[in-house]
Chain A
Amino acid sequence: MSLINNLEKYSKTLLLSTEEKNDLNSFFSSGFPNISDEEWKYTSLNKIVKNDFVVEDLPVFDEDNIIDKVSLGFKNKIVFLNGKLVSSPKIDGITISDFKSFKSKTNNSILSLNSSMARNGFSIDVENNTVLNSPIEILFLISSTRNTFLQYRNQINLGKNSNLKIIENIHSIHENLAFINHFTQVKCDENSIFEYNKTQNNKDNFSLIDTCNIYQEANTTSSVNTLIFGGSFIRNNLNFEQNGENAESNMNGVSVLNGSQFADNHTFVDHKKSNCRSNEVYKGIYLDKSKGVFNGKIMVRPESQKIDAFQSNNNLLLSDESTIDTKPQLEIYADDVKCSHGCTIGQLDKEALFYMKSRGLAEKEAKALLTYAFTNEAIDKISVPEFKDKCEKLIAEKLNVKLDFNH
Chain B
Amino acid sequence: MSENLKKIEKITSSKYKYGFITNIKEDRVPNGLNRNIVKTISKIKNEPQWLLDWRLKAFSHWEKMKEPKWQNLNYPEIDFQDLCYYSAPKEKKKLKSLDEVDPELLKTYKKLGIPLDEQKMLAGVAVDAVFDSVSIVTTFKETLKKAGVIFCPFSEAVQKYPELIKKYIGKVVPYTDNYYAALNSAVFSDGSFVYIPKNTRCPMELSTYFRINAANTGQFERTLIIAEDNSYVSYLEGCTAPMRDENQLHAAVVELITMDNAEIKYSTVQNWYPGDEKGVGGVFNFVTKRGICHKNAKISWTQVETGSAVTWKYPSCILKGDNSIGEFFSVAITNNFQQADTGTKMVHLGKNSKSTIIAKGICAGKSNGSYRGLVRINKGATNSRNFSQCDSLLMGDKCGSHTFPYIEVKNNSSQVEHEATTSKIGEDQIFYCNQRGIDTESAIALIVNGYCKDVLDQLPMEFAVEAKKLLEISLEGSVG
> Are A340 and B422 within 8 A (Cβ)?
yes
Query: What is the distance, in angstroms, from B375's C-beta to the closest C-beta of chain A?
Result: 9
How many angstroms between the C-alpha atoms of A338 and B392 in the bound complex?
11
> Are B402 and A331 within 8 A (Cβ)?
yes
Of the listed stretches B77-85, B282-290, B407-415, B446-454, chain A binds: B407-415
Q: Which chain B residues lie closer than 8 Å to A317 at the CB level?
A: 409, 411-412
Does A70 reach chain B (CB closer than 8 Å)? no
> Are A342 and B419 within 8 A (Cβ)?
yes
> Are B400 and A331 within 8 A (Cβ)?
yes
> Are B424 and A343 within 8 A (Cβ)?
no
How many angstroms between the C-alpha atoms of A145 and B379 in the bound complex?
40
Does A3 reach chain B (CB closer than 8 Å)? no
Known interface pairs A327-B404, A341-B403; A302-B397 also in contact (CB < 8 Å): yes
Does B138 reach chain A (CB closer than 8 Å)? no
Q: Please report the number of residue pairs spanning A and B whose Cβ atoms sit closer than 8 angstroms.
A: 113
> Are A347 and B415 within 8 A (Cβ)?
yes
Q: Which chain A residues lie closer than 8 Å to B394 at the CB level?
A: 332, 334-335, 337
Task: Closest B residue to A297 by CB, please name it.
Answer: B404
Query: What is the distance, in angstroms, from A346's C-beta to the closest C-beta of chain B?
Result: 4
> Are B407 and A338 within 8 A (Cβ)?
no
> Are A320 and B412 within 8 A (Cβ)?
yes
Does B405 reach chain A (CB closer than 8 Å)? yes
Does B75 reach chain A (CB closer than 8 Å)? no
> Are B404 and A335 within 8 A (Cβ)?
no
How many angstroms between the C-alpha atoms of A305 and B398 in the bound complex?
11
Partner of A325, one of B399, B406, B422, B423: B406
Does A79 reach chain B (CB closer than 8 Å)? no
> Are A332 and B392 within 8 A (Cβ)?
yes
Q: Which chain A residues lie closer than 8 Å to B418 at the CB level?
A: 328, 341-344
Main secondary structure of the interface of A (DSSP, over half): strand
Q: Which chain A residues lie closer than 8 Å to B423 at the CB level?
A: 337-339
Partner of B405, one of A323, A328, A338, A346: A328
Does B417 reach chain A (CB closer than 8 Å)? yes
Does B130 reach chain A (CB closer than 8 Å)? no
Q: Which chain B residues lie closer than 8 Å to A324 at the CB level?
A: 407-409
Contacting residues of chain A (300-320) with chain B, CB-CB under 8 angstroms: 302-303, 305, 315, 317-320
> Are B424 and A345 within 8 A (Cβ)?
no
Task: Closest A residue to B403 by CB, please name it.
Answer: A330
Query: What is the distance, in angstroms, from B412's C-beta to the closest C-beta of chain A?
Result: 4
> Are A319 and B412 within 8 A (Cβ)?
yes
How many angstroms between the C-alpha atoms of A325 and B416 in the bound complex?
11
Partner of B406, one of A327, A334, A337, A346: A327
Q: Which chain B residues lie closer than 8 Å to A342 at the CB level?
A: 417-420
How many angstroms between the C-alpha atoms of A345 and B376 in the bound complex?
12
> Are A343 and B395 within 8 A (Cβ)?
no
Does A175 reach chain B (CB closer than 8 Å)? no
Query: What is the distance, in angstroms, from B333's C-beta to the closest C-beta of chain A?
Result: 15
> Are B407 and A336 within 8 A (Cβ)?
no
Q: Which chain A residues lie closer than 8 Å to B397 at the CB level?
A: 302-303, 305, 334-336
Task: Closest A residue to B72 by CB, please name it.
Answer: A331
Known interface pairs A302-B398, A305-B397, A345-B414; A336-B424 also in contact (CB < 8 Å): yes
Does A329 reach chain B (CB closer than 8 Å)? yes
Q: Which chain A residues lie closer than 8 Å to B36 at the CB level?
A: none
Cross-chain pairs A/B with CB under 8 angstroms, 16 sampled: A302-B400, A325-B407, A328-B418, A334-B397, A335-B394, A335-B397, A335-B424, A336-B424, A339-B421, A340-B419, A340-B422, A343-B417, A343-B418, A344-B417, A345-B409, A347-B413
Q: A325-B407, A330-B420, A342-B418 are in contact. List 4 more A-B contacts (CB 8 A).
A: A323-B410, A327-B407, A337-B394, A341-B418
